[in-house]
Structure 1
Amino acid sequence: MKNNLKVGVIAWLTASLLITGSALTTAGTVSAAVKPIEIVMNNAFVDTDIAPYITNGTTMVPLQVAQKIPGISVQWNNQSKTVTIIRGSETITLVAGQKTAKVGNKEVKLEAASNLKQGRVMVPLRFIAESTQSYVLWNAKQRIVFVAKASEELKDQFNSTILSEARTAALKYPVVSSLKSFDVVNESQGQMYYFPEGRADQFFLSGGNGISYYEITGDYCLQKWSATFNSVKASSGLFFFPQKITNQDGTIPKLTDRVVFYNFMGPIGAASYGFIETSGEIITLGQKGMKLGEIFEIPEETK
């Protein structure tokens, strides 16, 4: 499952991290082992040789994790026990055991001091990530810390006046989520993409028996709703998706305009596409070759 995230395309997230079950309790069990904290940085799990832990509400991680935050360099001076972080012209320093840090010439209070554990330098992840303008979100339901920061190149693509380029960029944005996980099975190698007509900053992904809704916000993509469904026809609250919802978390969005759909079929490398009217009427316009997560232009769409 984790390897899917390293593809860097949000399409695979639907069938892996964000709505894949990872239940830790079973019926009749009073308690279960606490799930280890995991770190997801720009859609990729980060391996750690020392398990992250929480102290004073702050997640502490090995220095090697902080070194993977995009756009910075991190150094450790063993003699002075100092962590130095460089981002552009700005320098941030932390000294092991001290609950203050310096951002340039400004002293900043830390919730938890960096320290040494089992021969590893442990540092406060949120402070370092946010000091370097990354977004951090703690998912208490899955015990995952998300760190996200879209590259300037990706942001430029997302801001393109060509809608297909903007949508393709949106699908590559780093995802954060505070939602639960659900069991999803997708054996078809297919993926449904739904976009409100003329937009790239809002979209749905559906694969197997799972569906999720996402919005681009600043430098990251926020998963706002996820659900599982079955084959029974029923009102889901979405005019384009008449399936019975079996589990859900988050807030289901309210759409007032028709949506564009792409039905990607992995085995043949193509997608059927068209519109779904607010009445539920499906208008299929054709079929075209397509790669996973690479959206093409629909001439009939109102921009």
Structure 2
Amino acid sequence: MGQQLFALAVVYTVREERVRMLKQIVCIALVASALSAADAAIAAAPAHIYVKGKLVLATDSPIVEKGRTLVPLSAVAGPLALRLSWNAADKTATFGKWNESVRLTVGSSTAVASGNPAHMGGLKLDSPVHIVKGRVYVPLRFLAEQFGYRVSVDDENVRILAPLDASQLAMLRDGDLAEARRRTMSLSPELTHYAVDLLPYTHEREGYNVTYLFPEGRSDRFIVVSGDQASYAELTEDGWIVKWQAHIPVGEKDTLELLWEMKVTDQRGTAPEMNGSYLFWSSTDHLTTNLLSSGRLSDAGKEILGWRSTTSGESGGQAEGELSLTLPGESRLPGWVE
């Protein structure tokens, strides 16, 4: 009986040893599989970076982490005309363009942005910032989206493209004048950037008013008046760059006439020259009423050429003249090129 129990114990011991060895083999296989997958992910990372069609000669290639492509910040900063600084003590990298900036901290999935109303405060990253071989790596799409760039990634290449392609630029600069102006007024805020310190909105006027002014014959620059704030922007392949802002104080004269005479305060940047004539397109909401108007602004003052007033809950409305995004007899001038 004792021999039988001993034999049975031996059998169980052998079985337990086999189970233990089998578990070790499975663990080793899983680790090897994970390492192989990691190696495959690294191997699958694109080898080249192109910025606006030009190959970036970088010593370090992009990497892929959990399906996200990260690029070395120092490699793309120059081609994208980004300012770049590194604080070794805090392990923070700050990059910027125009008067906009973004601060990143190694290991953090949050960035802090300033200088553009469309990107302000804490921003969530898809992947945390890394340091690899002494280089700061940042998520490609986050980097691009801060300045409106388009991106594409394949097995071989990372491509960072200008926000506006050649056909879009041609349309906005030299296309049909009314359509180009219409598209400009409907463009996403992601395509507007600031080369000046942001001007605070003071809310001095009641209701909501937005007026666009385009120099006669042009659609590649404009002034937008929103409430008491005026901003001047010019078109580039990177989108619309705001180069001047000012407040228009409440006064006895019409807001646009005050702007024409440059009776403004808190100017930042270089003011546009107010001469010749401008086409204006204005939308005003006050309580339940909306008023659209268009016309000419010049040394002769403000001339309304057409308007339409509508009230919510009522059919029809009132109108007079012709609402138009072009002036009578206006001819297109050649678009300005950087």
TM-score, structure 1 normalization:
0.52
1:165 to 179, 185, 200: 179
Show the counterpart of 1:150: 164
2:99 to 130, 136, 139: 139
- Runs of at least 5 residues in structure 2 that lack an aligned partner in the other structure: 1-36, 83-95, 102-113, 117-145, 150-162, 311-322, 332-338
Structure whose residues are more often helix by fraction = 2
How many Å separate the matches in 2 of 1:103 and 1:166?
Answer: 24
**Could you say which structure has the greater relative contact order, defined with CA pairs below 8 angstroms and 6 or more residues apart?**
1
RMSD: 4.6
How many Å separate the matches in 2 of 1:154 and 1:185?
Answer: 35
Show the counterpart of 1:300: 328
How many Å separate the matches in 2 of 1:105 and 1:257?
Answer: 41
Instruction: Give the deviation of 1:217 after TM superposition.
Output: 2.0
Show the counterpart of 2:196: 179
Show the counterpart of 1:249: 268
Show the counterpart of 2:249: 230
User: For residues 255 and 229 of structure 1, do their structure 2 counterparts lie closer, same or farther at Cα, with a shift above 3 Å needed?
Assistant: closer
> How many residue pairs get matched?
206
Show the counterpart of 2:48: 92
How many Å separate the matches in 2 of 1:213 and 1:104?
Answer: 30
The residue correspondences of 1:48-63 to structure 2 (distance < 5 A) are none
Instruction: Give the deviation of 1:213 after TM superposition.
Output: 0.2
The residue correspondences of 1:1-303 to structure 2 (distance < 5 A) are 78-79=38-39, 81=42, 84=45, 92=48, 108-109=57-58, 122-124=70-72, 127=75, 137-140=97-100, 142=114, 145-148=146-149, 149-151=163-165, 154-155=168-169, 157-159=171-173, 161-171=175-185, 172=187, 174-185=191-202, 188-232=207-251, 240-242=259-261, 244-266=263-285, 268-279=289-300, 281-288=301-308, 296-298=324-326, 300-303=328-331
How many Å separate the matches in 2 of 1:153 and 1:133?
Answer: 23
Instruction: Give the deviation of 1:297 after TM superposition.
Output: 3.2
Amino acid at match of 1:192: T
How many Å separate the matches in 2 of 1:203 and 1:131?
Answer: 28
How many Å separate the matches in 1 of 2:81 and 2:148?
Answer: 10
Aligned 8 A contact 1:195 1:260 in 2: yes
User: For residues 103 and 222 of structure 1, do their structure 2 counterparts lie closer, same or farther at Cα, with a shift above 3 Å needed?
Assistant: closer
Show the counterpart of 2:160: none
Report SS of the residue matched to 2:234: strand
Report SS of the residue matched to 1:81: helix
Q: Deviations over 1:99-150 (max 9, x none)?
A: xx9999967136x886899x9865345855987999x825257356534412
- Runs of at least 5 residues in structure 1 that lack an aligned partner in the other structure: 1-76, 86-90, 94-100
How many Å separate the matches in 1 of 2:220 and 2:296?
Answer: 18
Report SS of the residue matched to 2:248: strand
Aligned 8 A contact 2:294 2:304 in 1: yes
Aligned 8 A contact 1:226 1:249 in 2: yes
Instruction: Give the deviation of 1:247 after TM superposition.
Output: 1.4
Amino acid at match of 2:307: Q
- % identical aligned pairs: 21
Amino acid at match of 1:218: E
Amino acid at match of 1:155: L
Instruction: Give the deviation of 1:161 after TM superposition.
Output: 3.9
Q: Which moved more, 1:240-249 or 1:124-133?
A: 124-133
Report SS of the residue matched to 1:302: coil
